[in-house]
Structure 1
C-alpha cells in the first residue's frame, strides 16, 4: 500500500521526498560552507567544527589514495567504536571515491576473516584496542588480503579535560605498534591532498554486512542515492533542522546509528553529542549539559535509563524526540517515559538491506509496540509467503518493500540476491522475511518472522552463523542455536549441544561459554548451553530447529 494512504500520515509532510543527486560527501562540503565554526561533533566535551571535519576527512582521503593505493570503488573496512575517527574515516573513504565496509567492533579475528576475504578490502581503519584482532590478517605479500592498517587512538580527540566521564578505552594513551600499523595522527599529519571527487549517486557508497541462513555474512550493496534517501528521510520525518542537537550512542556500524545518528545530522547541519559506550548517568548529564533535543535508543537502553534512581536529579526538558527500534518497547515503560519528559517513544522498522528505516511511527500519532507506517516513497505490501499474493487487510503475511532505499543486492552473491527479491507488477520488491499485519489506520504490527533470527537487545543474531563458529570447537559433534526468552534482552541465545563421545563429562557449559567469548562477538555468545544426547532430525537429516524453538517457548510459559 502507498504510504500517504495511511490515516497516520503526518499532515505537514508531502508524500514525495526530493533527494539530492550527489555523492554523500557533498553534504560535508555544504555544511562546512554554511556553518564552518559550528561544532559538528562533540566528543566528551571536545568540539570538532564542520570546517575542521571536512578538512581532516579530505586529508584522510588523500592518505588512502596516495599511501594505501585506494582507488574508486575499492572497499575499505571500518572497525572501531563510535568516535570522531569513525565519522572522519567514513567520510574520508567516501571522499576517496571508495566504499565503506562497517564492521561490528565486537567481532573477533575469526569473524573478521570473512569480511576481509569477501569484500576484497586491502585497507582497514582500526582502533588501537582492536588492532590485535586484525594483525593476524595483515599480509606483506602482493595479492589478496589486508595490506594497510590505519590505527586510531580515541584519546587523541580528548583535547580538553572532559567533564563527562569517558570509558577507560577512550582515555587510554596512544600505544601503536605492529606490522602494517600507521597511527591515525601520522596519516593526518601527511596532509595528502585527494584527487577529484568522482563518485556519483548511483555508485556504491557503503556495504553493511548482514547474515542469513547460510551462516556467512553478506554485503548489502548501497549506493550514494539509497543512503542519501534514508539520511534525508530520518531528519525530515521529525522536522529536524540545523539547530537540533542529537545524542548518538547507537553504534555507527549499525545502519540505525549510521543514518539517524550521523548522516542525517550532517545533511542538515546539526550537532552530534557523541558517546562511545552506553552509560546512563553520562547520557543524562549530556542531555542536560548540551540541551539535547533528539535521541535514538534501543529499548534495553531505555529500560536501564529509566531504572536510574538518580534520574530525577537531571533536567531532561530539552528532549523533543525519542525514537528507536530493534525490539518493541514495553507499554509500561512508554508510559513512564511520557510521564517523565512529556513525549512519546516513537518506534520504527528497517533492515541493513534498506539502510535503516522503511517504516516509522508519526511523532504526532504513534502507536506502542508498532512498526509504524511506510515512510517517504516506499511501497510496502503484506503478501502470503507461499503464494506471494497480497493478503486481506488485518491478516498476517510477509512484509515486502519497494523503494529507493532498498539495496542493489548482495555483494558477490547472485544466488542470495535472487532469493531476496520478487517482481510484482513490474516492480522489484525485497522480501523482508518478517511477518506482520496492518490495522485499520494503516499501521504495521510485527507478528512473527520467517527468517531464523534472534533479536538480542536489538542486535540481530543469526543462528546459522553462531553454529558455524561453534562447530570449530573440537568437542562439539552437533549444535542447534535457538532463541530463549530473556527479561532484559527480550531474546537471548541458547545452544543445544551434542558432544563427541570422548568429551562427554569432560566439557562443561562454562567451558563452552569461555570458548565462545574468545571466538565470536559478545552479543552472539550463547547465554544458555544445554547438553543433549541427540537432536531431532527430519527424514532428510536436517535438524528440526523449529521444533526445538517451539518446545523452548512452551517451557518458558509453564
Structure 2
C-alpha cells in the first residue's frame, strides 16, 4: 500500500459495490423483507417498519393533494419523534426535497433558512417553544402551510392520557386554520399517483454550521445519502445487522445522526431506541431497557455519562461499540469511559457536505486512539498545500484534507459561485475541500491536526489550537478547554486558553498557565488561561470555538 500526499484509498475501497438508490426504494426493500420488524422505540412505544412506511405513504399522498410537486421543499422543524421518519421519507416519496431545521433555532434563524431554501411546508410538533417559533415564521415568511403533530399521540396509551391530562403546560394552544393543519388531517388514504423519483434527484438540503457568514444548504441527492448509509453499514463486523439496536440520542436533524442512525438503521433493518433530546439518565435507562448495541454520540455526551452517578449501576453489557464524532474526543475522556464501562469507543469523521461519514476507526481489531480512523469504502483523499490549494502538500507534511467519494454533495443550494472555493479537480476527479488539516500514517489512519480557519498566526508561525488544547487537557484539574487566537501588538496573535475545571478543583488560571507553558513550544505559549463556568457548545453538544471567538472578540 502506498500512502502519500497524491492520494490514498483503502485497499478494499472498491471491492464493495454500493447501489445508488432512492431512500424510499431502500425503505420499501426493508419493509418487504419484514414489515413487522421494530424500527423506532419511543418513550415505551414501538413503531414497526411497516407502520412508518404506511404513514409515510399517507403523508406523501397528503402532500400531493396539497399541491406539492417534485422539487418543492418541505421543512422539518422537529426533535427526535416518530413522525420525523414518516415526514422525512414521505416527503421524498412525493418527490419533495427535505430541509432539516434545528428545533433550537430562533425565529430569525428559522425565517432566514426557510426563505433561503424556499420551503413551502413546515412540519413541527405541539411543543409550545417549537410551535410558537414556527407560527411566527409562518406569519412573516413565504411559508404556505404549517403541519403540527401531537406529541401525546406518539406515546403509549397510558402515557398519552397522563400527558394530555397533567402536562397541559407542555402542549401548545394551536390555532387551527387552512394554513395550520393537524398532522393526522394531512395524512391521506386516497389513491394518488406518486411521482417517479430517481437516485439523481435531490433528497435533502442540510444546512452547514456557518463557519463564515450565513449557513449554506448542502445539496445531498438520494444517491449520496443511500450510498453513505451503505458505506456506514459495511463497517459493521457483528453479523446480522437486523439484530442491532442503536441508541438514538443524537438529533436526526443533524447530518451525523441522519446517516449514522436513521438511514443506517433503515438500510439494514436495525432499530433505534430514540429520545427527543439528550439526557444522561434517560440514555442509560434506554440502553438497559432496549439492549442497545451501538451508541453514536459526540464527546460531550460521553463526558456527561461519565459524570452521571448511575453510570456504574447501569447494565451496559449489550453495548458492542460507541462511536464518537462531531469533534475530537479528549484522550482522558476516551480512556476513562472505556475503563469505567468496558465498552470500546471508536472515533470517526465526516461533514455536512459528505452526507455524514468519511472515515472511522474499526469497531473490532486494530484501531488508533487520537485518529479519525481509516477511510470508509469507496472514499479517496488527497492532501492540499495549506497556503495554495492548487498544489499538493509537501510529502510527509500536514495538508488540507480533500475528499472524493459517492457520498460527496452536489454543491451548495443556489450558490454555484462557491464551487471554485469548495471543490478542486485532480486527475479527472472532484474533491471536496474540508478545511481540516490532516496527516495520514503508514496504515492509512487519519488524524486531524486542526482547521485552517482556526490556525493562529503567531509571529509568522502557525499554531494549531487543538495541539495546545491536547496539552491543556493533560492537567488533572481541566475538564474542558478551547483555545483561540487573540490580538497581540507584538506577535500579531497570541493563543489564549479558556477552561472549565473538574468539579471540586480549586486550581486557578495563572497556575495552569505556568504549568502549561513549560510543556509546549515557545510560539504555542498562551498569554492567559481563563477559568469559566462553561464553554459554548453547538446544537449537538460539541465545543464551539467559533461561538467563543465571537463572544470574546
- Could you tell me whether the CA contact under 8 Å between 1:85 and 1:154 is conserved in 2? no
Equivalent residue, structure 1, for 2:383? 382
CA offset at residue 60 of structure 1? 0.7
Cα 1:2–1:319 shift into 2, 3 Å = farther
Aligned to 2:369: 368
Partner residue in 1 for 2:96: 98
Aligned to 1:308: 308
Q: Secondary structure at the match of 1:198?
A: coil
Alignment of 1:164-203 (within 5 A): 172-173=170-171, 175-177=173-175, 180-188=179-187, 190-203=188-201
1:437 aligns with 2:439: yes
Q: What does residue range 463-478 of structure 1 map to in structure 2 within 5 Å?
A: none
> For residues 71-150 of structure 1, what are the structure 2 equivalents within 5 Å?
71-129=69-127, 130-138=130-138, 145-150=142-147
Q: Secondary structure at the match of 2:336?
A: helix
Counterpart in 2 of 1:245? 245
Q: CA deviation at 1:283?
A: 1.1
1:177-226 residue CA offsets vs partner (Å, 9 max, x unmatched): 255211112223x4344422411111101110114455111111111110
SS in 1 for 2:243: coil
2:278 aligns with 278
Q: Residue in 1 aligned with 2:154? A: 157
RMSD, aligned α-carbons: 3.5
2:427 is matched with 425
SS of aligned partner of 1:431: strand
- Cα distance, 1:486 vs structure 2: 4.1
**Other-structure match for 2:351:** 351
Structure 1 residues 247, 239: closer, same or farther in 2, change over 3 A? same
Q: Tell me what 1:476 maps to.
A: none
Q: In 2, distance between residues paired with 1:530 and 1:221?
A: 31
Partner of 1:397: 399
Partner residue, 1:55: 54
Secondary structure of 1:134's counterpart equals helix
Between the two proteins, the alignment pairs up a number of residues equal to 470
CA distance 1:339–1:379, change in 2 (3 Å): same
Partner of 1:543: none
Q: Which residue of structure 2 lines up, in the alignment, with residue 25 of structure 1?
A: 24
Match of 2:448, SS?
Answer: strand
Matching residue within 481, 485, 500 for 2:498: 485
* CA distance in 2 between partners of 1:247 and 1:209 (Å): 24
* 1:9/1:528 CA distance change after superposition, 3 Å: closer
Distance 1:486 1:191 in 2: 56
Query: In structure 2, what is the Cα distance between the partners aligned to 1:221 and 1:147?
Result: 23
TM-score normalised by structure 2 residue count: 0.77
2:357 counterpart SS class: strand
Q: Does 1:225 align with 2:223?
A: yes
State the 1:29 CA deviation. Answer: 1.2
- SS of 1:446's partner is strand
8 Å CA contact 2:71–2:97 kept in 1: the answer is yes
Query: Which secondary structure state, in structure 1, belongs to the residue aligned with residue 350 of structure 2?
Result: strand
User: Normalising by the residue count of structure 1, what TM-score does the alignment of the two structures yield?
Assistant: 0.77
Q: Which runs of 5+ in 1 are unaligned?
A: 464-481, 490-515, 532-547, 549-558
Aligned position for 2:472: none
Name which of structure 1's ranges 129-138 and 58-67 shifts more when overlaid on structure 2.
129-138
Q: Which residue of 1 aligns with 2:63?
A: 64
Structure 2: how far apart are the matches of 1:54 and 1:359?
Answer: 30
